[in-house]
A and B are shown apart, each in its own frame.
Chain A
Amino acid sequence: MKSLAELQQLRDQISQQVVLRKDREDGIRVVVGMATCGIAAGARPVMSAFLNEVSKRKLSDVTVTQTGCIGMCRLEPIVEIYMPGEEKVTYVKMNEEKVARIVAEHIINKKPVAEYTVGAVQE
């Protein structure tokens, strides 16, 4: 059974790590639309998938956050990715499979997945 004592142990382990995670200015931000439209379209599992990838791959400079309705409800779930020094990339009609590819190709290898972006869908 998990106890608060176990949580305190975990806290001590984390605080001993040299690099503490911070919401750094120069970090990568993943922003998931989490309004009624996004939630109904499946934004929650998309966000969970990003969190899982970030924790599995130990990507300490990536922050996953949320926003409200972006105004393109028919394209939800929508995810915006902000990389330092780059223009924002907006991915639409997201799902868990797309998350894995975006993390590998865009966040790690810095090459946006063009076919999932809003530009590709609206052409």
Chain B
Amino acid sequence: MKELSLHILDIVQNSVKAKADKIDIIINENIKDNLLEITISDNGCGMSEDFLKTVKDPFSTTRTTRKVGMGISLFEAAAIQSGGHLDIKSKLGQGTTLYVCFMHNSIDRAPIGNMIDTMITIILSAPEIQYVYKHCKNEKEFVFDTDVIKQSLGDIPITTPEILEWIKGYMQEGLASL
């Protein structure tokens, strides 16, 4: 994957499949300590200890159509090649938290990429879920919470094209202010 935002898009699909109704995405750019951290946590069905042990293995998957699942392994490879690592914590019935870190200035670290398109894509894939995206950089932060948006929308769906356009502009301004 060319962008970290594409990995995030991919990993969030796991949370959607785990029947989460709230998914938190936190990107923390700590430039002082040369650290980039991404945390994705959900309140979905979680994983058993046995499955958790094998989950980073590309030959481990919940898919029934075939025997490979690459999402987490690819994300871990992206972290390791730029001096970081990936950790997953999960409790059955409570949810899963995936944490990845990178050396911020590593030449092998992929760019964060287009988080706006990633958010629009996951909103469209499961609009009923509450997504909270927090991006911290240089001691400033931008928080985007779909529940706040939905409260302002009343019975207009968040997937209405005009609303998605507005969300894009809103996130553009918010991220540019960091």
Contact = CB atoms under 8 A, between A and B. Distances in A.
Interface of A: 1-2, 4, 6-8, 10-11, 13-15, 21, 34-37, 39-40, 44-45, 47-48, 51, 54-55, 64-66, 68-69, 71
Nearest to A1: B173
Contact of B124 (A4, A8, A65): A65
Given A39-B6, A55-B162, A69-B65, A14 B156 contact: yes
Given A2-B169, A65-B124, A39 B117 contact: no
Contact of A7 (B13, B65, B114, B166): B166
B162 A51 contact: no
Interface residues of B, number: 37
Interface of B is mostly: helix
Interface of B: 1, 6, 9-10, 13, 63, 65-66, 69-71, 74, 114, 117-118, 120-121, 124-125, 148-149, 152-157, 160-166, 169-170, 173
Given A2-B166, A69-B65, A11 B6 contact: no
Q: Interface on chain A toward B: helix, strand, loop, or mixed SS?
A: helix
A75 B149 CA distance: 37
B10 A39 contact: yes
Given A36-B71, A39-B10, A44-B9, A10 B120 contact: no
